[in-house]
Amino acid sequence: MKPLLNKVEITSPRPVLQQFIDLKNKVTNESCTLDHITSIKGSLFKFDPDDRNQGIYFIAADGTETKVTNVVKPAICVRKPIT
């Protein structure tokens, strides 16, 4: 019997969010409370903190981007939307 082979496309590594916890409201994968500590778990969340264009961003349904202003392993704090 011949083995079944499948052709797959190889993509570049990308960050993967596995879990988002709002520590103020104690909810998982639901909401985010501004100015409070949030925990994110995932892989490949690496960036250069000295490069202003790199970082962790939340993007709302309307396209509004909010950059995480304080990153402390393993927690982050969201301040306000980018203007």
pLDDT tens, 33-82? 888 888 888 888 888 888 988 888 888 889 999 888 888 775 555 666 66
Nearest-angstrom CA–CA distance, 82 and 58: 10
Q: What pLDDT is recorded for position 82?
A: 60
Radius of gyration of the chain (CA): 17
Q: How many structural domains does the chain have?
A: 1
Buried b (16+ CB within 10 A) or exposed e, 20-41: bbbeeeeeeeeebeeeeebebe
pTM confidence score: 0.61
Domain presence at residue 48: yes
Task: Print the domain residue range for 46.
Answer: 16-78
Two tokens, residue 11: 């993509």
Q: What pLDDT is recorded for position 51?
A: 92
Domain presence at residue 7: no
Domain presence at residue 2: no
Chain centre distance of CA 74:
12
Whether the predicted pLDDT of 83 surpasses 60? no
Q: What pLDDT is recorded for position 38?
A: 84
Residue at token pair 């962790």: 56
